[in-house]
Amino acid sequence: MCNFFAQSAENATLKDVEGNEYIDFAAGIAVLNTGHRHPDLVAAVEQQLQQFTHTAYQIVPYESYVTLAEKINALAPVSGQAKTAFFTTGAEAVENAVKIARAHTGRPGVIAFSGGFHGRTYMTMALTGKVAPYKIGFGPFPGSVYHVPYPSDLHGISTQDSLDAIERLFKSDIEAKQVAAIIFEPVQGEGGFNVAPKELVAAIRRLCDEHGIVMIADEVQSGFARTGKLFAMDHYADKPDLMTMAKSLAGGMPLSGVVGNANIMDAPAPGGLGGTYAGNPLAVAAAHAVLNIIDKESLCERANQLGQRLKTR
pLDDT tens, residue by residue, 122-168 = 999 999 999 999 999 999 999 999 999 999 999 999 999 999 999 99
| Per-residue pLDDT, 313 | 86
Any domain includes 174: yes
Q: Is the pLDDT of residue 250 over 90?
A: yes
CA distances from 56 to 99, 273, 274, 288 (A): 21, 13, 9, 18
Q: Are residues 1 and 65 in the same domain?
A: no
Pairing of strands 109-113, 82-87: unpaired
pLDDT above 70 covers a percentage of the chain that reads 100
Per-residue pLDDT for 190 more than 90? no
Predicted confidence at residue 3, as pLDDT, reads: 95
Position 242 in a domain: yes
Exposed / middle / buried, residue 241 (Cβ in 10 Å: 0-12, 13-18, 19+): buried
Cβ atoms of 28 and 273 within 8 Å: the answer is no
In the chain, the number of structural domains is 2
* Residue-number span of the structural domain to which 168 is assigned: 39-311
Which pTM does this prediction carry?
Answer: 0.96
Cβ atoms of residues 190 and 117 within 8 Å: yes
Residues 193 and 279 grouped into a single domain: yes
Does 266 fall in a domain?
A: yes
Let me know whether 145 and 230 are in one domain.
Answer: yes
Residue count (the chain)? 313
**Residues 140 and 279 both lie in one domain:** yes
Q: What is the pLDDT of residues 270-310, one digit of tens each?
A: 999 999 999 999 999 999 999 999 999 999 999 999 999 99
Backbone angles phi, psi at 267, to 5 degrees: -65, -45
3-state DSSP call for residue 84?
strand
> Is residue 62 classed exposed, middle or buried when 0-12, 13-18 and 19+ CB atoms within 10 A define those classes?
middle
**Looking at this protein, which amino acid is placed at residue 285?**
A
Asked whether residue 132 falls in the same domain as residue 219, the answer is yes
Q: Return all residues near 47 (Cβ < 8 A) that are at least 6 apart.
A: 285
Domain with residue 108: its CATH number is 3.40.640.10
**Mean pLDDT value across residues 215-240:** 98
The answer to whether 83 touches 266, Cβ cutoff 8 Å, is yes
Say yes or no: 147 and 243 in one domain.
yes
Contact between 258 and 87 under an 8 Å Cβ cutoff? The reply is yes
Q: Please, is 77 exposed, middle or buried when counting C-beta atoms within 10 Å of its C-beta (0-12, 13-18, 19+)?
A: buried
Q: State percent of the chain over pLDDT 90.
A: 98
Residue 23: inside a domain? yes
Residues 256, 230 within the same domain: yes
Residue 300 maps to a domain: yes
What's the chain's average pLDDT?
97
Query: Average pLDDT for residues 245-255, to the nearest whole number?
Result: 98
Q: Are residues 21 and 155 in the same domain?
A: no
Q: What is the pLDDT of residues 64-100, one digit of tens each?
A: 999 999 999 999 999 999 999 999 999 999 999 999 9
Same domain, 182 and 114: yes
State the Cα–Cα distance between residues 266 and 74, nearest whole angstrom.
18
Mark whether 77 and 202 lie in a shared domain.
Answer: yes
Query: Do 25 and 43 fall within a single domain?
Result: no
DSSP letter (8 states) at residue 213: P
Strand ranges for the chain from DSSP E: 6-10, 13-16, 21-23, 82-87, 109-113, 145-148, 179-184, 214-218, 242-245, 256-261
Answer whether residue 34 is part of any domain: no
133 and 180 co-located in one domain: yes
